[in-house]
Each structure stands twice: as C-alpha cells, then as structure tokens.
A and B are shown apart, each in its own frame.
Chain A
Amino acid sequence: MPEIKVTPLGAGQDVGRSCILVSIAGKNVMLDCGMHMGYNDDRRFPDFSYITQNGRLTDFLDCVIISHFHLDHCGALPYFSEMVGYDGPIYMTHPTKAICPILLEDYRKITVDKKGETNFFTSQMIKDCMKKVVAVHLHQTVQVDEELEIKAYYAGHVLGAAMFQIKVGCESVVYTGDYNMTPDRHLGAAWIDKCRPDLLITESTYATTIRDSKRCRERDFLKKVHETVERGGKVLIPVFALGRAQELCILLETFWERMNLKAPIYFSTGLTEKANHYYKLFITWTNQKIRKTFVQRNMFEFKHIKAFDRAFADNPGPMVVFATPGMLHAGQSLQIFRKWAGNEKNMVIMPGYCVQGTVGHKILSGQRKLEMEGRQILEVKMQVEYMSFSAHADAKGIMQLIRQAEPSNVLLVHGEAKKMEFLKQKIEQEFHVSCFMPANGETTTILTNPCIPVDISLGLLKRETAIGPVPDAKKPKLMHGSLLMKDNSFRLVSPEQALKELGLAEHQLRFTCRVHIQDPRKEHETVLRVYNHLKGILKDYSVQHLPDGSITVESILIQATAHSEDQGTKVLLVSWTYQDEELGSYLTSLLKKGLPQST
C-alpha cells in the first residue's frame, strides 16, 4: 500500500521553528524552515542532520516550500541552504520573496551585531540563499519535476502567506502554514477549493479558542484612540514591523478619513517604511476593499500617517505613534514610553502578546512602578490597554477549512499538545477522518489508497458504451478490454490491439457443456421445444433457430443429439467463448433445470 510519511522537525506539538518533512510517493519535500524564538542555542534551528548524516541535502530533498515570511517559518533558511548546504529549489510567493530577506537581515543584525554571536549566517549568505528561491503565483501549478507539482492558495494571515498543495500523481498533501479564516482590514480570508487531499497539515495555534467578532475589537480600539486624542492625549502603539502594524495603520487611516480627524499619526521609520513599500506593490494580495479602491487611491499611501522623527515625541498636543518593537523591551517604543508614561492623559495600546520579562508584560499584568536600568523608578500613570489582533484561524476557522478541503486525513502542527488533543478529538468526531499530531522527530505514516488513472482509447470507449443498455449515471458500467502495463503507463485497449502490440496470435477459448434432458421426442422436436423455451425467457437476446438444427443465443451455440444408449435422453451441447461466460453459464443452469412440461 502506498503511504505518505510526515516528520515534523519543528512545530510538532509546539509553536515556532516550523519545519515539516513530507515523503509522498517517493518525493521528499520540506515545508517551512523556521527558527525558534525561545532559544538562543542550537535548538533555535531544526535539526537538519535528521535528514541525512553525511551527504548533501540536495540529494534527499526534492524541494523546500516556505509558506510566509514570519521568522518562525523562514528564519533558518540561510543557515539551511548555505551553511548546511542545499542547492535545490525553494518555493515561496512573490511578496514573501520580497519581504523575507529584509526580515532575515534584521534578524541577523540583532543576533550578530547586538548580541555579538559568531558563526551565524552573513548578509551574503542571505543573498545567495534568495537566489535559489523560485517565486510562485496564487493558484499557479508549478511542476517541480515530472511528477511533483505544487500549487499555492491564499491564506490571509500576513501579506503573501500561502497554503500549498503538494501533489504527486493522485496523492496529495495540503500544508496550510499559518492562515486566517476571518478577513481583516488589509487581508482577505483563506480560501481553498474542494481539492480532497489525502492529508491536510494544518496549524492549530488557537485549537481551543473561538473568537469574538473582529468588529467589536476594532471598534473598541478606535473608540479608545479617538477618546484619548480628543482629550488631547498621546497614544503609543508598540507593534512589530510587519503585519499587524499595517492592519492598524489602515484601520486608523480610514477612521481618520471618515471622522475627519486632524491629530497626526506617525509610524517609526526604518523597517515599517520599507515594508509599507511592499504592501503598496502587492495590492492583489490584499482584501476586497483595498483591491477595489486602489485605482482611485492606494490605501497604503497613507494620507494621515507620516514618518516619525525622534523629536516629535516632545511635541505638544495629541498624536498617535506606532513604534517598534512590539513588546516594549527595547528601542524606539521603549524610549517613547518612558517619555509619556507619566501623564495620565496618554495611553499605550498593546496589540499583541508579550513575553514574560518584557516591559510590555509587566505593565499588562498591572505593574505601575517599573524599575528601569540605572535603578530608576518609572511610575506609569498612562492608561494601559490590551487589544488582541491575532491573524490565526480559531477552532471554528480550522474546522471550516477542513470542511472546505475535505481531506481524508488531518495532521495538526504549530500548536500546544494539550490543545491539539481537544481539536483532534473534535475533528475525528465531526468529520470521521483520522487525525494525527506527531511530536518533533516522530514520524507519522498514512496509508493512502490512490486511484490509478488508466488511458483508454476513444474507439474502445465508444464501442463499449454503445453495447448494451443506455449508460446510466447511477450505475457502474462493465467494460471489456485488455490492460497494458508498459513503460510505466497504463492503457486499456481492445484485445485485438493488445495482441497486435504484443505480437501474439489470438487464441479462442471455448467452453462446452453437455446437458442431459429427458425427452422422448425426436431430436428436432426437442430442439424446437428448447428454442421456444429460451425464446420465452430471454426476451432481450436474439435467439435463433438455424436450419441445420442448432440454436444460437447471441453467439452461444446449442446443439441437441440423442444419447447413444438411451434414446429418451437428449444431450444438449452448449458451447460459448469465454467472453460470453456470463450468459453461457446462465444458459446452462437454465437448461439444467429442464424444460417446462409441454401441455
């Protein structure tokens, strides 16, 4: 039985370091190549030695697919391709290809320049790595080699995020990467057709959560910002450079436009500015509203949002500032925070999750006095708000995607084991498909039952459909033909052609059978009785009485002779070719029952 093998090197019952190996019909594919945020040692990258101890990775992997540009999905890519060594194709969508190197470079800078690590990939390595990338379009079927093909579907989540279908012959796997089933202000919802893959590998970050509608959160957010600005206060929104920052920018921009507000909005320069540039370019990847209105005005050409300068922080009057990084642990956002924290008119809105130990986490947990470096005590008087804007599918969204794709097996990754357990149970219960959740390094084997396509010649098809009753959609149809397996291809051809191609002579196989009937009458009378009997029963077939005293039913021949010893017993000789086996055996059984008593 053919099988699909899946081994997560990362993201198995875990979040971060997404890296999943899939073997399907003899092809090996690596899905994502991410780093882990939580570790600073070897554990931050997947263990590529699992793939091969010695020898190049290129020989073992047919291709690598990157779902989107978040570092936990692409962070290990330069390490993997340049330092470990991989020269095969790497597939990602166009926006991912554009934005990915910026983030990798940023990551490299922080690790090497700030933390002073050595033995890390260099800028040149990032460049070399990106040269190996093949960009794909949405819904474009890319032929990796003769048998392996991949196709990208829209996934929401962040700009350029995609789900990938990997297909070899009739077997297929869909990997979702991260996705979002509810649209937001700048991206649409994930969508997939009814592709019925053998296996669906889905993320399960929010396996046990059903979220409230996005609108309430948006409204709350806007109301808070609006109120603060009206009071004359300043609003600080610490964000990460990409993704949420753009969503919130759009949200505020349209709100400012709608409400005719005048207070300035700033976002920190650098990464965000660069990224905005790409958002402007990849309009086709955004949501309906932005796509439809970009002819009049590109939504990412912000009218109200301007680049931030350090000096602006001291300006009087209300303002809104987006600053990086998102957890208030360093950099510009922290600087501004220190300046504004003392005024109760101001507000800080944390739009995402904060890791323990960061300033963000402290203020969210209600701490009002912070100890900064140099034993300074910072008293936080400003209001602190938490707004979760997450772009992952919740439990309902995951179920919805499964319903859309109709897979025969589901495999959960990118989530916590305990939560996966719940979702797994639900999936099995609702869809009656088997669900797996392997840990890192654990291999899951899935048996598939692929259909095998066979070519049939048109002549044979037409000939066979013409025989017998009219084709009925509800019933399977029986056909006769010869299956030729030659050169790794299957063909269904007519027997004559098969013989011709194989250079064989045709042999006929005939079954003959003798049936004894007690009938004292003359031979030809018996024949006549048999003829009438058959004629009466087999109404749909042509039953003929030939002049030489034999009967034919279609191509089956029946002859009657008197028994050499007992004249009262007639021997019926029934003879048919093997093609008519069905009818022939039916006929013999019929005759064996004897003739009806003539009256």
Chain B
Amino acid sequence: QQQHEDLSTKKLRLTKPSKSAALHVDLCKATSPADALQYLLQFARKPVEVESVEGVVRILLEHYYKENDASVRLKIASLLGLLSKTAGFSPDCIMDDAINTLQNEKSHQVLAQLLDTLLVIGTKLPENPSVRMRLVEVACKHLTDSSHGVRNKCLQLIGCLGPVEKGVAKEAESQAAKDVQKIIGDHFNDQDPRVRTAAIKAMLQLHERGLKLQQAIYSQACKLLADDYEQVRSAAVQLIWVLSQLYPESIVPIPSSNEEIRLVDDAFGKICHMVSDGSWVVRVQAAKLLGSMQQVSSHFLEQTLDKKLMSDLRRKRTAHERAKELYSSGEFSSGRKWGDDAPKEEIDTGAVNLIESGACGAFVHGLEDEMYEVRIAAVEALCMLAQSSPSFAEKCLDFLVDMFNDEIEEVRLQSIHTMRKISNNITLREDQLDTVLAVLEDSSRDIREALHELLCCTNVSTKEGIHLALVELLKNLTKYPTDRESIWKCLKFLGSRHPTLVLPLVPELLSTHPFFDTPEPDMDDPAYIAVLVLIFNAAKSCPTMPALFSDHTFRHYAYLRDSLSHLVPPLRLPGRKLVSSAVSPSITPNEDPSQQFLHQSLERVYNFQHLDPRGIQELLEFTIRDLQRLGELQSELAGMADFTATYLQCQLLLIKALQEKLWNVAAPLYLKQNALASAAAKQILEETYKMEFMYSGVESRQVVIIHHMRLQAKALQLIVTARTTRGVEPLFGMCEKFLQEVDSFQRCFISELPHMQGSFVDKLLDLMPRLVTSKPSEVVKILQTTLRQSTFLHLPLPEQLHRATANIIEPTGESDNPLRFTSGLVVALDVDATLEHVQDPQGTVKVQVLYPDGQAQLIHPKPADFRNPGPGRHRLITQVYLSHTAWTEPCQIEVRLLLAYNSNRSKASTRIPKSTWNESLEAFPPSENSIEGTIPFSKPVKVYIMPKPARR
C-alpha cells in the first residue's frame, strides 16, 4: 500500500507503469486459477526493478494466502525465490513472511518450493548467522515430512546454510553445528533414494563450505556404497573420497578379521571396488577419484594392476609377464606356438580369491571397460598416480602401452599424452617400444604427432631400441612425408638423450665400411637427413663419434648446420677449423658469441651520432643485413635479431625520409618525391605495429620506444601532408589530432619519460605550450626541426623475445588439380597450420582468402580449432568455406594467416592476457584514434579452385 501512495505522489514514477501495480490489478481480475497462473507466467518474463521488489512480494504474499489452488501457490513461491535473487535487493525484510507461509501449507510441492525460496533468501544473506540458524531450524522441522521433495529441499538447505564455524563464542551454536552433521547423517538411510542422495550431497556441501566432517560418517558412507541406486552410490563414492582426504592416517578395522589398516587405504580399496560397479556413471566417478588419492600406500597401489590369471585351475602368466620374460631371456619376439601360453603350476584352490574386496585389478578392469568414458577416466587416474610414484609408473607401463590400441582415438591420444607426462620415471623395454612404434603408422596426424612428442622424452634401454625407433620413424616418413619436421625434431631429442646407444650404430647407419668407400648419399633425402640429425645430436656429447664419420659426412654436417641450424647442434670436430671449435669452452652460455655479436653491433649503431649522414645510413644498412643473417643462423636469437633489425629499419627509413630534397624545395614541384617520404612514414607505422604485436615477450620498456617511433612516423606524415596540400583547413584537424596523441603518449608512459632524454618526445613536450597555441604551419615547422634534431633512442632488449610465426602445412599449394565446385555453393578447404609464439591465438589469428578478382574474405576460426601441443605452440586445424560465382577457367586463390591487433589493447603499458573482446572494450573505451588492423604472418599458399556454373 505504501508503494501505491508513493506512486500517486511521484509523477516521475507514473510515466513508467509500475510492475507491482499492474500485477495487483491483474491478480484481482483473475477469475480462475488458470487465469492467475497465466498472469503470473507473463509477469515472470520481465525483470523487476530493485525498488519495487518488496512491493511486488507483498502483493504476491497477499494473494498467496487467498489462493486455494496449489499450482498458483507453487508459482507464487517460485516467483518469490526469483525476486529475492534480484541484484541489490536485500531479502531479509521478506524472510519472516516466507517462513510464515510454511506454517499452514499442506501441499508438498508448494512446501518444497517455499523451502527452495528460503534457500535463495538464505544464500543472499551470508553475513547473517542468526537468520541462517533460523532457516536451518525451519528446515529441520520439516525433515519429517512424508514427501521426498520436501525432505530433499530441507537437506539441501541445511547443507547450504548449516553453520560451519567451529569456534563460535556461544555454546548453543557450536552445539547446533554438531547437530547439523548428525541430522544429515540420520537421513543417510532414508527410505527414498533421492533423499539419501540429497543427504550425501548436503554433507559434501558442508565439507565444501569448510566444515570438517566427522570420521564417524565413514562407516555409514561405506554402507551406502552398496545402495541400489546409482546416484546414491555415485555421491557416496565422493563422500568416501572426501573422508579419505580428511583422515588419511586414521586406522579402521577390517571387518571379519582383527587387522586394521589406514583409512585412506581402506577407502582406496572401496573405491577400486566401485570401478566394476554396474552403472557406468559410478564407474567413471570412481576411476576419476582414484587418481587423486596419492597418499595411498604403494602396496595397495600396485595391487590395482594385479590380475592373477589361471586356466583350468593352473597359474598362467599374463602376456605382459611373458613378454618381460622373453625379453630378459635375451630372445626377442618369438612367434607364438600352440600352447606357448600353456598354464604351468597348479594352484591351491583355497588360495584363489575370485572377488577381491581390495584394490585388486581395479585398473585392469577400468581400462577394459565397455564405455570409453570410463577408460579415459582410468587412464587419467593412472597418469596422476604414476606421476607421484615412480615404481607405479614402471608397473603401469604395460597397461598404458596396451591402450595405444584402443578402438577410440580419444583414448589412444589420452594414453599417449599420459605416457609422455610420466616419461621421466620410466624406461621403455624393447617389446614395449615395439608396440609404441607400431602406432606410428596411424593415419591420424594427431596421434602420430603426440607419439613423436612422446619419443622426444622417452628413455630407451638398448641400442636395438634406438635402431628400431629409427627404422620405424623412417617408415613413417616415407608413408607420411608431411611429418618431416616433427620426425626430425623427434630424432634430435632421441639422439641427444642416448649418445652412448647411438655410438655403436653409427657405422651401420652411415653405411660406412672399413676398407671401401661407399657412395655418397643424396643430401636432399629427408630420410638421410633424419639419420644425420640423430647422429649429430648424439655426437654433441660423445666426442669419439666424429672419428667414425667419412669425409662427406663432415661436408653434410657443414651444410646442415647452416640450413637446419635448429636441428643440428654445433660440434667440435677434430682437425677442422669451424667457428665453434674456436670458442674456448670457458665461455658461459649466456655470453655466447652470437649474442655478443648482436650486442656489439647494436652498441656500434647507437654511437653513430658523430658520423656523417651518409655513414649513418651505410652503417644501418650493414647492421640490418647482419642482424637478419644472424636471425637465420641462430634460431634462438631470431626473435631478438628480427626485432632489432625492424627497429633499425624504421630508423633508417626515417633518416632517409628526412634527407629528402623535398624539404628544401617548394612543395608543388616535388609531388613525386614526397611519395617516398609518405611511403616511408606508412611503412614505419606498419613496422611499429608488427613490433608491438607480433613478438611475445615485449615489455613496457620496448612498447614505449615502439610508440615513440610511431609518433615520429606520424609527425613525418603530418609534415609531408603539410608540404603537399594547399590550404590550412585540413591541417587544423590533423595537428589537433597529433597533439592529442602526444598528450596521450605522455599520459600513458609518464613513468618512462625520464629515460628518454633528448628524444623527439622529450623535446616536443618541452615545446608543448607553444605548440598548442601556434598555427598549424608553425607547428609543422617546429615538428620538422625537432624531428631532425632528436636523438636516436636506445632500444633495450628483453630477456626473451620470440616472433610469432605461422606455417601453413595444408593446403600445400602444390596441387595441379583444381578444387571443383558448383558456383553459388560452398566448398570446404581444410587448413592446417602451426603457430608459434602466438599469444591468445583464439582471439587474434584469422584466415584470409584472396580471390583473383581482389575480393578478400576474412575468416575467424572457432576457438575449438586451436590445439595446444606444447608451450608456445599452437596448431590450427580448421575448415575454410569458399564460394564464388562461376569462372571460365580454374584460377588460384591465396590463403594466408593474419594476426589481428587492436592498438587499444596495449594502450596501458601492461598487457591484459586473454582478455575477451568485450572486456577490453569495457576496460578501454574506444577512443577515436584506436586502430585495428591485421598483420600477415604466414607465407601465402595458393590453392587452385574452379567454381563451375550450376547445371540446369
């Protein structure tokens, strides 16, 4: 009613028809329950303003008491809950009313809904323990209700709102805290499975909220594991797990015997038991949780992989054991004969335990499960357990290797990844390696690449193993030539990890002969390169190896060291004056010569001030060339070298532009020359964007310099425009814009300004008061002189700098067969590319398609198309849809990858990683000078396509 008065007095409110008033009228009009329900449903569709929530609630409650129909009351109750969720509304004022409604309610459904509303109210008032206590009391009172729905809600409410604080001052409250667990525990054997589930969930909720559960619940929870209903068992497994984490070291008795074991071991055994449950939901749950029980004792852990085989009551060895035995007896892979696996010793019938209550064989079952969800969960759990226990890792190897042949690719991939993660702890036996390598022929690229990754960090025990791996990898290479890079990389690590094992293989691999010269192998053969990569990497830490090389091997080394420097390490070769042999070993790696060279050349450049302009230009040109070459040679310095080279290039362009004759001549005469200056300005701008966005590891120190360079370019642009355009009007706008930019530069990088003594900006800021007041023509003049006089800023180098690169693997661009499709329809083109050092590729990487008619299409790949095989690396596998009108002849289109940037994003000196587009918009309101653009960062690939005219 108060609300009504308010409405009538305030005119402003009346313009907006209030919801409460409308609702009231509607509800009064409603003649039947169905009508009222309709009104309520309509009402619920629109949001309610915070101010009128209370009024609406009052009206609803008023109607609630009058209503006879349960369904309408139910809707009102649910609306109450919805309304109390309104942001900014504090529901404590309606709590009493809500509790009161419970008193006389007869319908179970409405009761349940009301309790739900109370739950919402309770969660909205976290800072009010007395309210919570009251609500919990109300819930406890209704726990005896005959409907499962009501009991369900009560338990949920107790779980969410029950007091968890232990050391509350008041005695009564801590008493209640104890009670909460007991009350919930009493409902563990409720007659309704839904209530049982709710009780366990409430208990888990209490745990999540920080209440320490009592250990006494454990035995109760164990009983629930044998429940008839899967949701109860599933929740019970969780509860057992929680308890095992809370009380890992307490001792529990084993029923039917006098022994006692640690609780975590007992729980582990019980959860293992659930891995062979009837319901797959429970099995998944159990298998997942096993992985996180790392405190379990190793004795129990190893049992999970144990499965005693027998045949006709005689002990039989598993295939794994047989393989191991074959291996240790020195014989490798015999063909299996009939009866090879014939059982040997007799088993004592009494000793065979067919259903072990413990952990026996849990993983054996889990990995053989029917549902792949369970198998994946089991593999994940194996991975986690093996990471924490080397001995277990060794044992589970056989099983993981077996999983490489699963029927579902996801499972295979997962097990390969798992194996990679635990590879530090294991050494592969030959027979295991054999199985692993067999998967190299898999037609799925993901699988093969994952396997290469795995081989990179695998330990092999024998030289035969290395040989086997090499042979299989070469086989893979011939079958899938696109895997070249990945295989070479794999062999690089394989070589450097096992130098001593490679050593005895060298003569065979290089097919050298003690007496005869052998023909020189083809240098361009990828397989030969692969062998060399293996050998050279092994030779790095094995100084005796080069003695086995023949002459052409040395020559090939020199060639490969140059052409594939990232795969071939520097070697110290005897009797050869190579760069690396000249270096004394005392030099520490971070002072390695190429790095020194980089710094020295930069040093030289920065001190050029005293040189004449001609000399400066030459010096810059030389340095740029040197740096580019260095980048090609030294892959680890490539980012750094490119970065600085780009910077120097910008400077060079600036200097060149400023030395143009056009500055001395009246503008209209030299329209042609200014093309060079404005082109330079444009290029510098482009390069600065590249510097800012294409390199990962750029710090704010560099960002300042880059922005500074950009500012200079803009100044240059302004000057050029001033010289070439007649009239002053357009200049006004430009000048103003430029000055704004200077201003914002100052604001953004205020902390860095002291480092920029004598720079363009420094001088400009000094002149700022004058600039603001002067005419455009004067501004231009000032700018010109400052630009000429300003010093070249020293670009500090960050620790790590990597250039974002992309390489399109597919389409290869070699096909002569055009992709034919009917015009007007679309054709899907598979694009497969590797990205390196791209931050947040999901947001920035785009695919561009250029049609011969100049039409360009920009495609945003789905976030799911990006895979992350390793740190700093991404893989884009996507489909691009092409379409065009009909052509008479097949023609080539270009596909390339672009890196999108937005200058706003780095406005602040700190970058925000992984900010979504929306967030960045909120954080930086778009200013008029925000520039969005794209940088092409992959070589374009040509695809031959042919849209045919549609047939009638």
Contacts and interface: CB of A to CB of B under 8 A. Distances in A.
Interface of A: 182-183, 185, 188-189, 191-194, 208-220, 222-224, 226, 254, 257-260, 287-289, 364-366, 383-386, 395-396, 399-400, 403-404, 419, 422, 425-426, 430, 465, 470-471, 473-474
Given A259-B442, A473-B191, A288 B371 contact: yes
A300 to B, nearest CB: 14
B335 A215 contact: no
Given A185-B407, A383-B335, A426-B354, A208 B319 contact: no
Interface string B468-508: 00000000000100000000000000000000000000000
Contacts of A365: 338
B757 interface: no
A209 B311 contact: yes
Given A192-B278, A426-B354, 20 more contacts: A183-B370, A188-B370, A208-B310, A210-B308, A210-B316, A212-B309, A219-B405, A223-B435, A223-B438, A224-B335, A226-B438, A258-B443, A260-B441, A288-B370, A385-B335, A386-B336, A386-B338, A396-B355, A400-B276, A473-B190
29 contacts: A183-B368, A183-B369, A185-B407, A188-B370, A208-B312, A208-B313, A209-B310, A210-B310, A213-B402, A215-B368, A215-B405, A215-B406, A222-B405, A226-B438, A257-B443, A259-B441, A259-B443, A260-B479, A288-B370, A288-B372, A364-B338, A383-B335, A385-B336, A395-B354, A400-B276, A426-B354, A470-B144, A471-B144, A473-B191
A497 B406 CA distance: 67
B364 interface: yes
Chain B, interface residues (CB within 8 Å), range: 35 or more
A436 to B, nearest CB: 18
Contacts of A215: 367-368, 402-403, 405-406
* 8 nearest A-B residue pairs (beta carbon): A216-B319, A183-B370, A215-B402, A364-B338, A260-B443, A259-B441, A208-B313, A189-B370
B189 A473 contact: yes
Contacts of A404: 278
B610 interface: no
Contact of A219 (B368, B369, B370, B402): B402
A422 B228 contact: no
A591 B468 CA distance: 98
Contacts of A209: 310-312
A254 B370 CA distance: 17
A213 B407 contact: no
A320 to B, nearest CB: 16
B725 interface: no
A279 B479 CA distance: 34
Interface in B325-357: 335-339, 349, 352, 354-355
Contacts of A289: 372, 407-408
Contacts of B438: 223, 226
Given A219-B402, A254-B407, A419-B312, A287 B190 contact: no
B309 A210 contact: yes
A377 B435 CA distance: 39
Contacts of A194: 228, 278
Nearest to A254: B407
Contacts of A430: 354-355
A404 to B, nearest CB: 5
A384 B309 CA distance: 25
Nearest to A462: B146
Contacts of B308: 210
Contacts of B276: 400
A425 B353 CA distance: 11
A191 B190 contact: no
A224 B368 CA distance: 22
Nearest to B143: A470
Contacts of A216: 318-320, 402
A350 to B, nearest CB: 8
B461 interface: no
B307 interface: yes
B511 interface: no
Nearest to B317: A212
The winner among A216, A257, A365, A385 for most chain B CB atoms within 10 A is A216
Contact of A191 (B278, B309, B352): B278
B518 interface: no
B338 A384 contact: yes
Interface string B442-484: 1110000000000000000000000000000000000100000
A5 B235 CA distance: 41
Greatest chain A CB density within 10 A among B309, B338, B354, B406 is at B354
B223 to A, nearest CB: 13
Nearest to B404: A219
A213 B319 CA distance: 8
Contacts of A474: 189
Contacts of B399: 213
Interface string B401-428: 0110111100000000000000000000
Nearest to A257: B443
A260 B278 CA distance: 37
A182 B368 contact: yes
B124 to A, nearest CB: 32
Interface string B282-315: 0000000000000000000000000111111100
Contacts of B336: 220, 385-386
B444 A258 contact: yes
Contacts of A471: 144, 146
A86 B168 CA distance: 79
B200 to A, nearest CB: 15
Interface string B174-211: 00000000000000011100000000000000000000
Contacts of B316: 210, 212
Contacts of A212: 307, 309, 316, 318-319
Nearest to B412: A258
Nearest to B371: A288
Contact of B319 (A220, A254, A425): A220
B405 A396 contact: no
Contact of B338 (A185, A210, A366): A366
A227 to B, nearest CB: 10
A257 B408 CA distance: 13
Contacts of A419: 312-313
B438 to A, nearest CB: 7
Contact of B370 (A223, A257, A287, A470): A287
Nearest to B314: A208
A210 B356 CA distance: 13
B443 A218 contact: no
B280 to A, nearest CB: 9
A55 B444 CA distance: 66
A474 B399 CA distance: 46
A236 to B, nearest CB: 16
Given A191-B278, A219-B405, A258-B444, A214 B320 contact: no
A403 B368 contact: no
A531 to B, nearest CB: 33
Contacts of B355: 396, 399-400, 403, 430
A515 B318 CA distance: 83
Contacts of B405: 215, 218-219, 222
A383 B276 CA distance: 39
- Of listed B276, B320, B372, residue having the most chain A CB within 10 A: B276
Contacts of B189: 473-474
A215 B403 CA distance: 8
Contacts of B312: 208-209, 419
B352 to A, nearest CB: 7
Q: Name which of B370, B442, B444 has the most chain A CB atoms within 10 A of its CB.
A: B370
A215 B319 CA distance: 10
Contacts of A400: 276, 355
Nearest to A474: B189
A331 to B, nearest CB: 22
A308 B675 CA distance: 76
B311 A208 contact: yes
Q: Name the residue in B318, B355, B371 with the highest tally of chain A Cβ atoms < 10 Å from its Cβ.
A: B355
